[in-house]
Structure 1
Amino acid sequence: MIKNLGTLLLAGMLSVLLVACNTTTYKHNYTFTGEGEVWSAAYVQKATEKFIDKKGERPDYETSQQSTFELKYKGEQTDLDKIKDFKYIFKGTSGEESKTLEDVNGVRSELKSERSGSGAYEQEDSIIKVVVEWDGKKEEFDLEVRK
């Protein structure tokens, strides 16, 4: 009898907790890809969006995201060794990032940048603009989620 009362009490407490605070989580994990004639890129995002509905209180909202941007050169590494001036920038709805030759410590055939935090993230229909400039040359292309 006491055992049944304890189980009933525990079930009641869990029900109160579930009713008092309801959390809904959405995942926004996307890979954006694109390329030009000389460069290609990918932006991989893993984002989480939580809505916390507290009964009798204002709802709470939390986001977190981790992303990786990877820029690849389609030619030979020996071509990159000659580059004296280099810069790339990528810009989406959640912000932008740029790097110069000094930031990347020399141009390699694959350049990777990672970031994480809370706040804005890219939606599935976002378009990320990429601009690469090197030794007086310039290439622009878009990254999109391929369906």
Structure 2
Amino acid sequence: MIKKLSALILSGMMIVLLAACNTTTYKHNYTFSGEGDVWSAEYVQKATEKFIDKKGVRSDYETWFDSTIELKYKGELTDLDKISSFKYSFKGTSGGGSKTLEDVKGVRKSELKSERAGSGAFEHEDSIIKVVVEWDGQKDEFELKVRK
């Protein structure tokens, strides 16, 4: 009898907790891509936005994102051996990043990748990410947009 009563009370408490909190989760998984004359890039983002509505209490809001930007050289790989200075930057509506390579051997791989993750702002479907690649006095600027 006590086991049945305990199970009934526990079930009742679970129902009350579920009724008191309502969670809505949205996924914002996008791939932004674009290219310039010499370089192309792809920015892949996986983001989660969670709204937690607690009746009678202030609602909570949580975000989490994981993103990767990857640059690709469009020319001949042997051209990369001649580069002596290299840096790139990207900026979207939620922030951005930049990287300068002191050891230019990283450029010779023809692909450059940078990853970041955390909570806070993230890119939305209508965002535009501006990319600037600079090497040996040359510059390639272009925009990344969501592939549809």
- TM-score in terms of structure 1 length: 0.91
One-letter amino acid matched to 1:19: A
Residues 1:88 and 1:59: Cα distance change in structure 2 (over 3 Å): same
**For 2:133 and 2:145, how far apart are their aligned partners in 1?**
17
Give the deviation of 1:7 after TM superposition. 5.4
From the superposition, tell whether residues 95 and 103 of structure 1 become closer, same or farther in structure 2 (CA, over 3 Å).
farther
**Could you give the per-residue CA deviations for residues 57-109 of structure 1, whole angstroms, max 9, x where no partner exists?**
11111101000000000112211111011111110011111111227753130
CA distance in 2, matches of 1:105, 1:18: 55
Aligned residues: 147
What is residue 46 of structure 2 aligned with on the other side? Answer: 46
- What letter matches 1:29 in structure 2? N
Aligned counterpart, 2:119: 118
Equivalences for residues 48-127 of structure 1 within 5 A: 48-102=48-102, 106-107=106-107, 108-127=109-128
Structure 1 residue 20, shift from structure 2 partner: 1.5
Percent identity between matched residues is: 78
Task: Structure 2 unaligned segments of length 5 or more: list them.
Answer: none
Would you say the 8 A contact 2:68–2:115 is kept in 1?
Answer: yes
8 Å CA contact retained: 1:89, 1:130: yes
* Distance in 1 between residues matched to 2:104 and 2:145, nearest whole Å: 24
Q: What one-letter code is carried by the residue in structure 2 that aligns with 1:142? A: E
**Alpha-carbon offset, residue 11 of structure 1:** 3.4
Give TM-score scaled by structure 2 length. Answer: 0.90
Secondary structure of the structure 1 residue equivalent to 2:17: helix
